[in-house]
């Protein structure tokens, strides 16, 4: 049977991998162990200290100098760490209020910030681990190499602080934020949809519903579906000779007591097997981007909607968001969508898994922006350009027709709100989209 990590452990690993905890903690432990190990090795083999030129550390007979250096570095580093945390909290607060609370997850996963905290806290732990080695009794000992390493780490921290200030100033740039969210969303698309779409690819066939004696399995925890172990469900269905229909897809909210899935041949589903099926779904209080492409789109849309609100009135930011949304849609439409019907062995239906479709993704990406930008010609023009860019990269005629219909809705929605000169620009761009649709259909 399919070997797997429990959904809870997988969810915890995903959260820790992207949070503040793991990378800084590992760096802190490694540098602390390095400080203790190096000072012990130096005491065991005193000749190691001869490798350091005296010009770098002339006071080799006075352990108080080494203690003072290590103490000063540790104290100053903790002061800098408090400043770093203050800057970080200010940045998170600014991003949450100015853009959207949902984008905080991308800040938390930022590797530059994690490395900064790790280097500073690691330098502190290095100094604290090495400090007991510098002593006067029972005999004077100065860990020359270890103290020199601490001084080098202090210089690294100075340079890293400059890097962090530059990095955090770029991180609050809206273009940088939106680009980072788009890149993360593309990575999710690449993982879920690794195969490029070809013109020879046929739509997924819809099998006949052969469910008999089905049983409804109720959800046991309210929250958002964040991850579904599809391979595990297929393996269970194949081992038990059943079919499974999931009621909701990744990203949907599912309350406790609501049907999570249906299974055929209900007499084969014992309470223990029911618990195994439920364990294949990870449910939590917030959405994540483990398998949720739509969540990345929602984050960018949130920024765009706040930008075009009357209180902010920043169409340039909304235009940047539309550009990034077109990038995501082009990547999504260029890949073979994840299957809804999963078989094992071939031609034996085992799992039916709802997937997000083009209509829904277009609604999420552009519909709200279209509605609230009806009186903004710049954003509406960029919406039409985005549709045109997507049309020129799509091979599926049905998808092109859907995109043309969406573009027409942009123009019709703006008609009551814009003067005729602006409407002429919109109609001109719509005509270009129609021409591209016709041209690609005749190839």
Question: Tens of pLDDT along 171-220?
Answer: 778 888 899 899 999 999 999 998 888 766 656 666 766 656 689 999 99
pLDDT score of 322 more than 80: yes
pLDDT band at 170 (very low <50, low <70, confident <90, very high): confident
What is the arithmetic mean of pLDDT over 52-57? 61
What is the arithmetic mean of pLDDT over 123-139? 84
Note whether 302 and 166 are same-domain residues. Answer: no
Note whether 164 and 311 are same-domain residues. Answer: no
Note whether 298 and 434 are same-domain residues. Answer: yes
4 neighbors 231 (Cβ within 8 angstroms): yes
**Nearest Cα residue to 352 out of 340, 336, 339:** 340
Domain boundary among 111, 142, 172: 172
List, in sequence order, the alpha helices (H) in 280-419: 293-307, 315-333, 358-362, 368-372, 377-391, 397-414
Examine residue 430 and state whether it is found in any structural domain, yes or no: yes
pLDDT band at 380 (very low <50, low <70, confident <90, very high): very high
pLDDT band at 366 (very low <50, low <70, confident <90, very high): very high
User: What's the confidence (pLDDT) of residue 360?
Assistant: 93
What is the arithmetic mean of pLDDT over 99-117? 77
Domain boundary among 172, 206, 222: 172
pTM of this prediction? 0.81
Burial of 164 (0-12, 13-18, 19+ CB in 10 A): buried
Q: What is the spatial distance between Cα 406 and Cα 411, in angstroms, rounded to a whole number?
A: 9
pLDDT score of 50 more than 80: no
Examine residue 389 and state whether it is found in any structural domain, yes or no: yes
pLDDT score of 8 more than 60: no
pLDDT score of 2 more than 50: no
User: What's the confidence (pLDDT) of residue 259?
Assistant: 93
User: Any idea how long the chain is?
Assistant: 443
pLDDT score of 222 more than 90: yes
Neighbours of 106 (CB within 10 A): 20
User: What's the confidence (pLDDT) of residue 1?
Assistant: 45
Examine residue 206 and state whether it is found in any structural domain, yes or no: no
Examine residue 92 and state whether it is found in any structural domain, yes or no: yes
Domain boundary among 172, 203, 228: 172
Note whether 23 and 163 are same-domain residues. Answer: yes
Q: What is the spatial distance between Cα 7 and Cα 147, in angstroms, rounded to a whole number?
A: 46
Q: What is the spatial distance between Cα 155 and Cα 144, in angstroms, rounded to a whole number?
A: 17
109 neighbors 187 (Cβ within 8 angstroms): no
User: What's the confidence (pLDDT) of residue 212?
Assistant: 63
* C-alpha torsion sign, points 391, 199, 298, 367: positive
**Nearest Cα residue to 192 out of 322, 300, 353, 2:** 353
**Nearest Cα residue to 225 out of 300, 291, 277:** 291
Examine residue 192 and state whether it is found in any structural domain, yes or no: no
Neighbours of 76 (CB within 10 A): 16
Q: What is the spatial distance between Cα 232 and Cα 205, in angstroms, rounded to a whole number?
A: 23
Question: 12 or 381: which carries more pLDDT confidence?
Answer: 381
Question: 137 or 300: which carries more pLDDT confidence?
Answer: 300
DSSP 8-state secondary structure symbol assigned to residue 204 = P
With vertex at residue 333, the alpha carbon angle to CA 331 and CA 339, rounded to the nearest 5 degrees, is 110
Q: Cβ neighbours of residue 261 under 8 Å, at least 6 residues apart?
A: 216, 217, 244, 245, 246, 247, 277
Note whether 297 and 166 are same-domain residues. Answer: no
Q: What is the spatial distance between Cα 306 and Cα 299, in angstroms, rounded to a whole number?
A: 11
pLDDT band at 313 (very low <50, low <70, confident <90, very high): confident
178 neighbors 106 (Cβ within 8 angstroms): no
User: The domain containing residue 299 runs over which residues?
Assistant: 293-336+356-441
Note whether 305 and 167 are same-domain residues. Answer: no
Number of domains in the chain: 2
Examine residue 279 and state whether it is found in any structural domain, yes or no: no
Q: What is the mean pLDDT of the chain?
A: 85
340 neighbors 354 (Cβ within 8 angstroms): yes
User: What's the confidence (pLDDT) of residue 174?
Assistant: 83
Examine residue 98 and state whether it is found in any structural domain, yes or no: yes
Note whether 168 and 297 are same-domain residues. Answer: no
pLDDT digits (tens, 9 = 90+) for 11-38: 666 655 555 678 888 999 999 999 999 8
pLDDT digits (tens, 9 = 90+) for 332-353: 999 988 889 999 888 888 999 9
Examine residue 178 and state whether it is found in any structural domain, yes or no: no
| Secondary structure element (H or E) that encloses residue 253, with its range | strand 253-254
pLDDT digits (tens, 9 = 90+) for 403-443: 999 999 999 999 998 999 999 999 999 999 999 888 877 66
292 three-state secondary structure: coil
pLDDT score of 114 more than 70: yes
């Amino acid at each position: 049977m399919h070997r797997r990590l429990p959904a809870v452990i997988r969810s915890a690993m995903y959260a820790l991998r992207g949070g503040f905890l793991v990378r800084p903690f590992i760096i802190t432990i490694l540098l602390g162990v390095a400080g203790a190990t190096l000072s012990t090795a130096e005491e065991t083999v005193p000749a190691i200290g001869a490798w350091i030129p005296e010009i770098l550390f002339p006071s080799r007979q006075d352990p108080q100098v080494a203690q003072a250096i290590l103490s000063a570095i540790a104290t100053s580093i903790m002061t800098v760490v408090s400043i770093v945390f203050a800057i970080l909290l200010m940045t998170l607060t600014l991003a949450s209020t100015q853009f959207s609370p949902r984008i905080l997850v991308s800040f938390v996963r930022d590797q530059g910030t994690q490395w900064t905290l790790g280097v500073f806290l690691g330098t502190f732990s290095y100094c604290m681990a090495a400090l007991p080695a510098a002593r006067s009794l029972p005999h004077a000992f100065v860990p020359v190499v270890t103290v020199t390493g601490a001084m080098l780490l202090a210089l690294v921290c100075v340079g890293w602080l400059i890097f962090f200030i530059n990095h955090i100033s770029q991180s609050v740039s809206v273009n940088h934020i939106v680009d980072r969210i788009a890149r993360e969303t593309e990575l999710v698309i690449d993982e879920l949809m690794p195969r490029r779409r070809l013109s020879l690819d046929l739509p997924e066939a819809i099998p006949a519903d052969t469910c008999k004696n089905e049983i409804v399995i109720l959800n046991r925890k309210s929250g958002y579906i964040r991850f579904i172990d599809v391979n595990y469900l297929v393996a269970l269905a194949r081992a038990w000779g059943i079919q499974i229909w999931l009621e909701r897809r990744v990203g949907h909210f599912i309350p406790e007591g609501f049907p999570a899935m249906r299974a055929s041949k209900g007499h084969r589903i014992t309470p223990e097997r029911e618990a195994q099926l439920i364990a294949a779904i990870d449910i939590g209080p917030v959405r994540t981007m483990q398998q949720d492409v739509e969540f990345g789109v929602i984050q960018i849309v949130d920024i765009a909607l706040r930008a075009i609100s009357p209180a902010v009135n920043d169409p340039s930011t909304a235009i940047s968001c539309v550009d990034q949304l077109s990038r995501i849609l082009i990547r999504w439409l260029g890949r073979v969508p994840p299957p809804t019907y999963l078989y094992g062995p071939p031609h034996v239906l085992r799992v039916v898994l709802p997937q997000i479709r083009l209509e829904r993704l277009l609604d999420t990406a552009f519909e709200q922006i279209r509605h609230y930008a009806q009186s903004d010609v710049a954003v509406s023009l960029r919406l039409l350009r985005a549709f045109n860019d997507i049309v020129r990269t799509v091979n599926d005629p049905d998808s092109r027709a859907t995109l043309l219909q969406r573009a027409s809705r942009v123009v019709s929605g703006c008609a009551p709100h814009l003067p005729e000169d602006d409407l002429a620009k919109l109609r001109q761009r719509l005509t270009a989209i129609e021409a591209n649709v016709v041209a690609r259909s005749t190839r």
